[in-house]
Amino acid sequence: MSGIMRIGRLELRVMDLEESVNYYTDIIGLEETGRDGDRVYLKAWDEYDHHSIILQKSDSAGMDHMGFKVRDIYELEKLEHRIEQFGCKLTRIPYGTRLAEGQAVRFEIPTGHQMELYTEIEQVGTGTGIINPHPWPDGLRGIAPHRLDHTLLTGDDIEAVTRFFTEVLDFHQTEKIVTVDGEVMIGSFLSATNKAHDVAFVKGPDAKFHHAGFYVDNWYEVLKAADILTKNEVPVEVTPTRHGVTRGQTVYFFDPSGNRNEAFASGYVSYSDFPTITWTEDKIGTGIFYHRRELVESFSKALT
């Protein structure tokens, strides 16, 4: 029963801002909702907050921070207290730092990633409105996902970051990957919601970004996504398949800066009493790519 409502935004570093904006609007099909110096703000058609993706012009690719929206300021205060008790140093991001946002608190999680919590962001509404809405808006472009769904990050201490998310932030762990002897956790899938995951961590270098997952409705939409990627010559890393973990359907590809993206569909509903699923490392291939049953080499190497 987390005070955290959802993964609200990812700020991604990109090298060629215009090329990246074209990619995220034409290929992914997000909507540009604002610009502010070296940042461009984007949202998916089914999101009502002002943005879920921020592209930040930079010299290198990667994730600047991930932001989670908290239910209200009382929950936020409670979480701040617990985060500090855990030993993280909080920084205040003042109002006006980025477009359409209120203030936020920022801190580093045990894997070295920057995370923000916030309650305020301007609402601009979905593409379908809230009065007698149609199920989808006209004029959709590209993959046209419903929303930012989750992110996967790498880090060294998966146990510690799992404790942080479950004990401090009240996430529940839906799945974990452990060494065959059961001694070491090397993958952890964490949810603050009823989704199969909102954030996940796999063993790897600290502070690195693995991918941003965007939600599409079904397996045919995964096919459409993959078709669009080929039509536009976007590098595809993993062609349409099912995950063992989450059972979701997926295709992986890269933005122009090399940040990995995913179009993700289906996946189970999880409740906070969901019995954590365990994958043993010898089955990690099946867990990640259910049909191929082995990892793709680039999958653990291409990090930003």
Supply the residues annotated as catalytic: 150, 197, 211, 243, 252, 262
Binding-site string for its own copies from residue 272 to residue 291, where x marks contact by CB under 8 A and - marks none: xxxxxxxxx--x--xx-xxx
Gap between the Cα atoms of 296 and 285, Å rounded: 9
Which residues in 108-127 contact its own copies (CB under 8 A)?
123, 125
Site for its own copies in 165-224 (CB under 8 A): 193-195, 215, 217-220, 223
At 131, the amino acid letter reads: I
> Could you tell me whether strands 199-203 and 147-155 are parallel, antiparallel, or unpaired per DSSP bridges?
parallel
Residue by residue, DSSP assigns 59-95 as: SS-EEEEEEEEES-HHHHHHHHHHHHHHTPPPEEE-T
**Least Å from the CB of residue 263 to its own copies:** 12
Q: Examine residue 29 and tell whether it contacts its own copies (CB under 8 A).
A: no
Amino acid making up residue 245: V
Give buried/exposed letters for 65-95 (b at 16+ CB in 10 A, else e).
bbbbbbeeeebbeebbebbeebebeeeebee
Enumerate residues 222-241 that contact its own copies by CB under 8 A.
223, 226-227, 229-231, 236, 239-241
Contact 62, 12 (CB under 8 A): yes
103 binds its own copies (CB under 8 A): no
| x/- map, 126-145, its own copies, by CB under 8 A | ----xxxxxxx-x-------
Q: How far is the CB of 88 from its own copies (least distance, A)?
A: 23
Length in residues, the chain: 304
**How far apart are alpha carbons 11 and 5 in whole angstroms?**
18
Q: Residue numbers of the site for its own copies (CB under 8 A)?
A: 1, 3, 5-6, 46, 48, 69, 71, 75, 123, 125, 130-136, 138, 146-147, 193-195, 215, 217-220, 223, 226-227, 229-231, 236, 239-242, 244, 247, 249, 251, 266, 268-269, 271-280, 283, 286-287, 289-293
